[in-house]
Amino acid sequence: MLRDKSLIPLSHQHQHALALCVRLDRALQAGEADPIPWQEEIEQHFRQEICFHFEAEEKEVFPVAVRFDELKPLVEELQSEHETLRESFAAAASRSLDAAGLQRFVASLAMHIRKEERQLFERLQGLLNPAEMSALGIALERALADATQACALPDQATRLRPKP
């Protein structure tokens, strides 16, 4: 299903976070993931975008979704995942993640994003009428106004290098 324009800002932020996950996973698989620069990038990504993203979902999307009984368990699960992910972001900020912790972070963030896209957003698009979707989009626009509009660029240490 095509993403409704009201949810596209969140989906774009999901793409940014998934790009970080892919790059970090590839670096980990290649044994080229120095944990410190990656944790710096994770922290930057959280400060610039993800903290606003989580707040927008929690303030605007989740309350709309829990109006539907079928979505209540999913929203509870996603909220719990937000808390766990916040702990992972805090661990990155304190530079306490090792390679295994980075791998767990990548797996949990990617799984969380896919769950929101494939389950929550898909169902909301089927359950909300156009006026409700539009109202949600306006609320999200306000909620995301403080988020940095540019994707964080990797530094030299986290940029993937082509294999020779």
More confident residue, 146 or 116: 116
pLDDT tens, position by position, 85-117: 999 999 999 999 999 999 999 999 999 999 999
Write down the architecture of domain 8-143 according to CATH.
Up-down Bundle (1.20)
The CA R_g of the chain, rounded to the nearest whole Å, is 16
| pTM, entire model | 0.87
Mean pLDDT of the chain: 91
Q: What does each C-alpha distance from 70 to 119, 120, 124, 131 come to in angstroms? A: 11, 10, 11, 21
pLDDT tens, position by position, 32-42: 889 999 999 99
Q: How confident is the model at residue 47 (pLDDT cuts 50, 70, 90)?
A: very high
- Mean pLDDT over residues 125-149, rounded? 90
Segments making up each domain of the chain, as ranges: 8-143
Contact 160, 29 (CB under 8 A): no
How far apart CA 105 and CA 164 sit, in angstroms, is: 28
How far apart CA 46 and CA 85 sit, in angstroms, is: 10
